[in-house]
Amino acid sequence: MSPLSVMEVLHAHGVVRRHIGSAMQVAGQDRKGDWLVVALIEDSDDVYTVASARYLDDEEIEAIARIKGD
């Protein structure tokens, strides 16, 4: 997975974000249409560090589609 794919997801529209305390998860598609989830840790107010990123499997993609109402 390229760092560019991670940046595309973080700045994309139509993503699903989950913020829990100082952790945030963002799930979305890169420009190729691949689904990724990116985990971030908040260092200070609105300043985040990417902790991990991975591709979603088919079941996770279906769950995201349900959350989005697709």
Residue 70 pLDDT class (50, 70, 90 cuts) = confident
CA distance 50 to 33: 21
For the chain, what is the mean pLDDT? Answer: 94
Q: Which residue has the tokens 């985990």?
A: 39
CATH number (domain holding residue 40)? 3.10.450
Which structural domain range is residue 29 located in? Answer: 3-68
CA distance 20 to 10: 17
How many separate domains does the chain show?
1
Task: Give 28-41 pLDDT, tens digit per residue.
Answer: 999 999 999 999 99
Q: Among residues of the chain, what percentage have pLDDT more than 90?
A: 89
